[in-house]
Amino acid sequence: MRAVVQRVSQAHVTADADVVGRTGPGLLVYAAAAPDDGDADLAYIAEKVAHLRIFPDAEGKMNRSVIDVGGAVLLVSAFTVQADARKGRRPSFDASAAGELAEPLITKLVDAVRGYGVLVQTGRFAAHMHVESVNDGPICVLLDSRRTF
């Protein structure tokens, strides 16, 4: 499982012209599952999202997590996070799980992050979405449960 984590001052996602998820200060997370991902993969990503220390403390150092600052998470499923663009000009999405495999894993990821006491809103799985965000920093962190980067 992979995720792109962005620290935001606000973000929202629309699908079919309806706002389906939003957050104020917190994290915007784009997540994608691989076909062979399991509970250990999603647990790793959930723990990292909840505890990643990318918010400033009183001295301005990144020492606080989304939990510490009372922030929320907008988690959007985005199969393209598994893209491989190392060869040629068109990315390959072979490493991304098909919808019937990915949807329950993403749902479990959302539930796992919520299990840490974090308010989580989501996009709409498999929908064409528009995401608007105000990145704070900008702070963007890549996570991979296989630790390939």
Six-digit token string for 127 = 């929908």
Alpha helix stretches (DSSP H) within the chain: 39-51, 99-114
Low-confidence residues of the chain: pLDDT under 70: none
Phi/psi-derived region of residue 16, left when phi > 0, alpha when psi is between -120 and 50, beta in every other case: left
pLDDT value, residue 3: 98
pLDDT value, residue 148: 85
Q: Where are the domains of the chain?
A: 2-144
Residue 127 to residue 122: CA distance in whole angstroms: 12
Residue 91: asked if its preceding bond is cis (omega within 30°), the reply is no
CATH topology of domain 2-144: D-tyrosyl-trna(Tyr) Deacylase; Chain: A; (3.50.80)
Is pTM beyond 0.75? Reply is yes
pLDDT value, residue 73: 98
Residue 97 to residue 130: CA distance in whole angstroms: 22
pLDDT value, residue 123: 96
**β pairing state of 26-32 and 2-15:** antiparallel
pLDDT value, residue 14: 98
DSSP notation for 63-106: EE-TTTTT-EEEEEE-GGGG-B-SSSSS-B-TTSPPHHHHHHHH
Which residues are CB-contacts of 59 (< 8 A; sequence separation ≥ 6)?
A: none
CB 77 within 8 A of CB 125: yes
Residue 68 to residue 85: CA distance in whole angstroms: 36
pLDDT value, residue 149: 79
